[in-house]
Copies of this chain bind each other. A is one copy, B any other.
Amino acid sequence: MSAIHSSHLPASAILLIHCPDSKGIIATVSEFIYQNNGNITNLDQHVDLEREVFFMRIEWELDNFIIPNEKIGEYFDTLIAKRFQMQWQLHFSHEVPRMALFVSKQPHCLYDILARWKSQEIEVEIPLIISNHPDLETVARQFDIDFHLFIINGENKREQEQEQLALLAKHRIEFIVLARYMQILSEEFISHYRNRIINIHHSFLPAFPGAKPYHSAFERGVKVIGATSHYVTRELDAGPIIAQDIIRVSHADSVEDLIRKGRDLEKVILSRSIWHHLQRQILVYQNRTLVFS
């Protein structure tokens, strides 16, 4: 198993489930855990009444749990999941995921993530930083992380992405964070990390398409600016939303002020999304997230 062990938390299992709604799901799953001597510490569920879909995140302590960790998935699938046509994922809290950071020129999100990692606020391995610009190599060096430069142009994109994928595979990367990575990923690349690439982008009320959204927002005199983090899908910036927030602005703010205030928003929301992802709080269903936090 690739993950290293997190020492200071009691080991627990986390199960994320969705399936057609029907009676008895909670009773059956909680009974399964109870009968095998597990102690449920967290259960969040939600029923989408319109689509008739049931969602659940359930966490239990592994101490004295009768089924060995490596068999839990198999047993759960055989005994319960098939019966309810469940889609499920099983995670263990003591496994530390491996994350890759993709960056370009702007350092604010990168610094924020690395500071949290270095001060152990987030438990994650960061084996490497990938960039399409050399600018942030100095930041990578400050934090002693390998920096890989992939300069991408119209001709070499496919090839470069293949090398990136090979590198990610070699480092057993579980999920990717685009920390202001200004390069569109190909559908093929995304298909390798479905619901495992987190992006952050500014958002406005109303939305401003085009190349310079902050300038448009300024010209429209908006009173709030926002940021949205989401999982990357092939439709640009249209993937399942993980977190959103806004900051108030006024006519006195210049375009530069908007951009500066937007940075604070972006870094906090992106890091909050990484937190949710690491806590296995996010369930994706039909381009929509449920965040059980």
Contacts and interface: CB of A to CB of B under 8 A. Distances in A.
Interface of A: 23-24, 26-28, 30-31, 33-35, 37-47, 49, 106-108, 111-112, 115-116, 118-119, 121, 142-143, 203-207, 219-224, 226, 228, 237-238, 240-246, 248, 250-252, 254, 260, 263-264, 268, 271, 287-291, 293
**Number of identical monomers bound together in the oligomeric complex:** 4
A44 B44 CA distance: 6
Contact of A246 (B37, B108, B224): B224
A55 B244 CA distance: 29
Nearest to A141: B142
A31 B119 CA distance: 44
Classify the interface of chain A: helix, strand, loop or mixed: mixed
A262 to B, nearest CB: 12
A49 B219 contact: no
A276 to B, nearest CB: 11
A115 B111 contact: yes
B43 A33 contact: no
